[in-house]
Structure 1
Amino acid sequence: MPLDGLFVHALAHEFNQKLAGGRITKVHQPYPNEIILVVRNNSQNYPVLLSAHPAYARAQVTKIPYQNPKTPTNFAMFLRRNLEGARLNQVEQVSNDRILHFAVNTHDELGDEQTLLLTLEMMGRHSNLFLVREKDQRILELIKHVPADQNRVRSLMPGATYTLPPAQNKENPFTSDLGSLAKILLDEDKANWAQAIQQHFEGFSTQSAKQLAQTLSQAADALKTTSEWLANFDMPAPTLYRFAQNKLSYSAFDWGQNADQKEQFASLGDLLDAYFAGQAEADRVNQQAASLVRLVKNELKKNTTKQKKLEQTLSDSENAESFKIKGDLLITYPHLVHKGMTSVDIENYYDDNKLLKIELDPRFDGLKNANRYFHKYRKLRLAKDYVLEQLEETKKEIDYFASIQTQLAVASPKDVEDIKIELIEQGYLREKVKVKTKGKQTRKPKHVMGQPDRFVATDGTMIEVGKNNLQNDRLSLKKQNRHKIWLHVQNLPGSHVLIDSDAPSEKTLEEAAQLAAYFSKARDSANVPVDYLPAGRLRKPNGAKPGYVIFEGQQTTYVTPDQNLISTLKKDAH
């Protein structure tokens, strides 16, 4: 189901159970449209993600660690001044809409108690997050400022009076006596029930309305069945549905949707982490790494074109001997050629005197045409060695950027900066230099490289996965790691994987191979070959690019990447 009013009802119920009465201890803004509140309640910290993202707007308790920017945004600083240390009284849903009020008890500048509402509107591209003073509904700040010429319905700027989005004038199914539902079932054909439910009741998405209509079509007592169906949103059993080609769907409880696999979670937050992890992370990476993606794409295109030209030149050079033969024949039989001729047939004494047709430049006689062929022959012979050298370098460039492209495809936001630093160090990207302020000496902070991702095998063995070339080098070439087992997908770009053991079990070896295959260009393939050997056998040639190693004496295993297994291994690592 999409995140509709029914699901938001379940979220509000979960928030009040976990967060009501807790204190806000920290506020972070890891991404432009998203805020993390850390709420401490009952001796436990709950990171709460409030997202006004146009495609992934949601509210949830999350277990995904987010990397915060070095410099907090103005909005984050404003929330810190007003919310840190305040008590979260309750979370209230507006009617049955996709709007949540987080009511916070705090003090104003004079020390008087006041209630602030942190209001999240989850409305697709119109999503927004407001901090509103409850007593006069004044907007103190909001995450997206919207000028009046872009929204004539209501003012979305600091200082304006907060008003709710236009009402839909529908019944709230959780507070209604459902009398209109009985009328719908009597007056409408079964085929129209879903549409009628959606038109009469607030908070129903198309999918939710269809599921209720399908349930009612098989029920003896429609009103009782509806009440029981709605009660599930107060006692959720969060369910994730998996379909072919890694497509996902979710619901607050298992309402019988046909799927290839079903997985239940302990909380709605865990469910949303699992559902949005791939999509939202990929979107964040795309936002952060848009310039890197363009650079890599352009470099691959440029080097692929260069490779084709070099291969054509090499193919021509392989025919260099034919130019020498033609020159020899023209030198031997110059009297057969006269100016104005475009071709001549000469017996080829190199090939049993068979007639060989030789193209001519009509401006020249036989000797000058012969010299032209000798010149081509010498040029191609000299070019061959250079072309072979250039071709090898070009193939290395293609392999390198193919590996960067794969790393960007599987990167999390924390990995993007490492990839950017690597491209700057390799000379492919210019570093932005800040203009020095007069009289002040600014020192650029040293980049702290991200840590490899950690996973835990079924038997408890740690497995590390490098997500970029800098991490790969550090992981694979450390002296203390030389006895540990190293893995890499065979002959394709991918992550370096290291098992924290010199004698892992067969099960652990298979799980590590799954990780190597998943974090590679072969992640959607079956029966993927993965090489493995002790890390001490790896060698890095002089002058090789980051992430490049050579080895011999490896063994090979074959696996098919399983996303469910990867999620389980990662979950166990937290």
Structure 2
Amino acid sequence: MPLDGLFTHALVHELNELIVGGRITKVHQPYPNEIVLVVRNNSTNYPLLLSAHPTYARAQISFIPYENPQVAPNFVMFLRRYLEGAKIQSIEQIDNDRIINFFVNTRDELGDIQSVRLTLEMMGRHSNLFLVRQQDQRILDLIKHVPADQNRVRSLMPGATYTLPPQQNLINPFTSLDKLAPLVLDNPSEDWAKVIQSTYQGFSKESAQSLALALKNATNTMQQAKDWLSGFENLSPTLGIKSDQSLSFSAFNWPNTYRSQQSYQSLGELLDAYYIGKAERERVNQQAGTLIRIIKNELKKNKNKKKKLNQTLADADNANQLKVMGDLLITYPHLVSKGMKKVAIENYYDNNQLLTIPLDEKLDGLKNAEKYFNRYRKLKNAVAYVDEQLVLTDKEIDYFETILSQLDVASPKDIDDIRQELIGEGYIRQNKRKKQKPKISKPDRFMSTDGALIEVGKNNLQNERLSLKQANRRDIWLHVQKIPGSHVIIHDDNPSDKTLMEAAQLAAYFSKARESANVPVDYLPAGKLRKPNGAKPGFVIFEGQQTLYVTPSADLPQQLKIK
């Protein structure tokens, strides 16, 4: 189901049970439109994600790891001033809409208690997160500033008075079900979903269809509707796979047409499972948009260069013909006079067959011969240079294709590493204002079924540090054969066959061959790796490897990853 008003009701119910009364210990803004509040309650830390993402807006307890930017954004610095150390008093939903209020008691500069609230509006591209002072409803700040010329309905700037978005004048199903029975009786069953959605607030199409399905064979319509709605408080989070392989989630195991389904302990775990791929990919695309453009431009430039170099080689293959034409012209210069565009001469290299030679009409026979000899020498001399440039160009193409494949499996924390690598290689200009020395993010860590630690580098800087600096010489190194991919290290000099196979599957999954079957993966002790002088980051050479053949699995990384 989409994250509609009903699911928002379920989220508020779960959050009230988990974090109300807790204290906000930390405030982070790992991504442009998302805030994470670490709430300490009942001796447990709950990372509360408040997302105003235009596609994936939501509020949930999320344990998906994240990396904070080196320089904190202004909005999170403002929130820290008001929220760190504050206590969450209550969490409320506005009617059955996709708006959640988090009421917080904090202290102002004088030490007096001040009531503020965080208001999260989950409205697609209009999603926003506000910090509002309760006393006068003044917007202290908000995550997206919207100028008046872009929104004439209400002011969305700091200092304005907060007002709710325009209402739809629909009925809150949790406070009034009076009209449901006559609506069902007065309409044919195939129209029930449409009637429910157009009458009651917070129903997505999928939710309305599920309730209509629940009512279809009910003897007591009102009681069945109440039982169905109670599922949004008596939670049984369910992730379903539809017949078209798409995923859907629900707050409880409602009437559905799922092909298969899986239950979770909490809505937070459910949403983590649902969004881990989608939201992460979107975050990567947002942060890496400039990098992807640069890389694709470099790839295009190098592929065009390779095409021209190959054409030069093809022309060089015909260089001997230029020499023949020059020899014939210098032998029979009297057959050519200025103004001629071509001449036919008996070719003594080819049984005196007539050979038509194009001419520069401004030149005589000897000058035309000299012109052909110059072109011949130039092409011959170019071969060595072109061969050298082809090797360098192929390396550049392999390098940028490797970067693109790394971006395909990158998490948001990996983007800064890739950007820093491109700066170091001279493909992106260094921002002179940034004086902080960038730190390389840590590789992803996995635990094999047999208990061995496996680390996976997600970019070239991680790969190089992991394989050449951190790994023990006897640790086992793995990499897909002749395909761009991650460096994988098993921190064990004698891993079990099962661990070796799982590490090989990870190497195959985090590579350009992740959609393939029967992928060859080379492995050998890390001490046998060498980096040639002048090679790009992450490039190594080796010999004496062994090879496994595996099929990548999308489930294995999730099963083995260390949270």
TM-score, L = length of structure 1 = 0.91
Deviates more, 1:549-558 or 1:315-324: 549-558
The range that moved more, 548-557 or 353-362, is: 353-362
Match of 1:509 among 487, 497, 500: 500
Q: Quote how far apart the aligned CAs of 1:272 are.
A: 1.4
Q: Give, in angstroms, the shift of residue 174 of structure 1.
A: 1.9
Matched, 1:191 2:190: yes
Asked whether the 8 Å contact 1:475–1:481 carries over to 2, the reply is no
Mapped partners of 1:133, 1:194: distance in 2: 40
Corresponding residue of 1:439: none
CA contact (8 A) 1:489 1:530 kept: yes
SS in 1 for 2:179: helix
How far apart are the structure 1 equivalents of 2:316 and 2:273? 56
Conservation of the 8 A alpha-carbon contact between 1:532 and 1:556? yes
Q: Could you report, residue by residue, the CA deviation over 1:150-202 in whole angstroms, capped at 9, with x for unpaired residues?
A: 333333333433332222222222222x3322222222222221111101111
Of 180-189 and 197-206, deviating more is: 180-189
Report if the CA contact (8 A) 2:214-2:255 is conserved.
no
1:205 corresponds to which residue? 204
- Out of 459, 466, 479, the position equivalent to 1:468 is 459
Cα gap change, 1:328 to 1:138, in 2 (>3 Å): closer
Q: Deviations over 1:322-366 (max 9, x none)?
A: 222333344445565565554455554545555544434445454
Question: 1:255-277: per-residue Cα shift (whole Å, max 9, x none)?
Answer: 35445653332211112122222
Larger mean Cα displacement after TM superposition, 24-33 or 326-335: 326-335
Which deviates more, 237-246 or 292-301? 237-246
Change (3 A) 1:191 1:543: same
- Residues 115 and 381 from structure 1, CA distance in 2 versus in 1: closer, same or farther, beyond 3 angstroms? same
Report the counterpart of residue 153 of structure 1 in structure 2.
Answer: 153
Per-residue deviation, residues 395-434 of structure 1 (Å, max 9, x unmatched) = 1111111112222232222212222221222122211223
Alignment map for 1:78-97 (pairs within 5 Å): 78-97=78-97
Q: Verify the 8 A CA contact 2:238 2:253 in the aligned structure 1.
A: yes
User: Within 5 A, what are the aligned runs for 1:151-190?
Assistant: 151-176=151-176, 178-190=177-189
Distance (whole Å) between structure 2 residues aligned to residue 107 and residue 93 of structure 1: 25
Counterparts in 2 of 1:366 and 1:63: CA distance versus 1, 3 Å: same
Q: How does 1:315-334 map to 2 (within 5 A)?
A: 315-334=314-333
Counterpart contact for 1:327–1:369, Cα < 8 Å: yes
Per-residue CA deviations over 1:274-330 (Å, capped at 9, x if unaligned) read 222222222322333332222212111111111111110011112212222333344
Q: Which runs of 5+ in 2 are unaligned?
A: none
- 1:23–1:88 Cα contact (<8 Å) kept: yes
Q: Residue in 1 aligned with 2:50?
A: 50
2:20 is the alignment partner of 1:29: no
Task: State the secondary structure of the residue aligned to 1:280.
Answer: helix
Q: CA deviation at 1:388?
A: 0.7
Amino acid at match of 2:402: S
Paired residue type of 2:27: V
Question: How many residues get paired?
Answer: 563
Given that 2:506 and 2:556 are in contact with CA atoms closer than 8 Å, whether structure 1 keeps it comes out as no
Shift in alpha-carbon separation, 1:221–1:562, aligned structure 2, 3 A: farther
Preserved contact between residue 170 and residue 201 of structure 2 (Cα < 8 Å): yes
Q: Percent identity?
A: 65
Separation of aligned partners in 2, 1:123 and 1:547: 43
Q: Distance in 2 between matches of 1:293 and 1:516?
A: 23
Aligned to 2:370: 371
**RMSD after superposition:** 2.5
Quote the Cα distance in structure 2 between the aligned partners of 1:473 and 1:98. 46
Check conservation: 2:57, 2:122, Cα contact below 8 A.
Answer: yes
User: What amino acid is aligned across from residue 530 of structure 1 in structure 2?
Assistant: V
Check conservation: 1:463, 1:500, Cα contact below 8 A: yes
Offset, 1:370: 3.2
Asked whether the equivalents of residues 101 and 120 of structure 1 are also in contact (C-alpha less than 8 Å), the reply is: yes
CA distance in 2 between counterparts of 1:297 and 1:480 reads 33
Q: Does 1:542 align with 2:541?
A: no
Deviates more, 1:393-402 or 1:208-217: 208-217
Paired position in structure 1 for 2:384? 385
Separation of aligned partners in 2, 1:504 and 1:258: 44
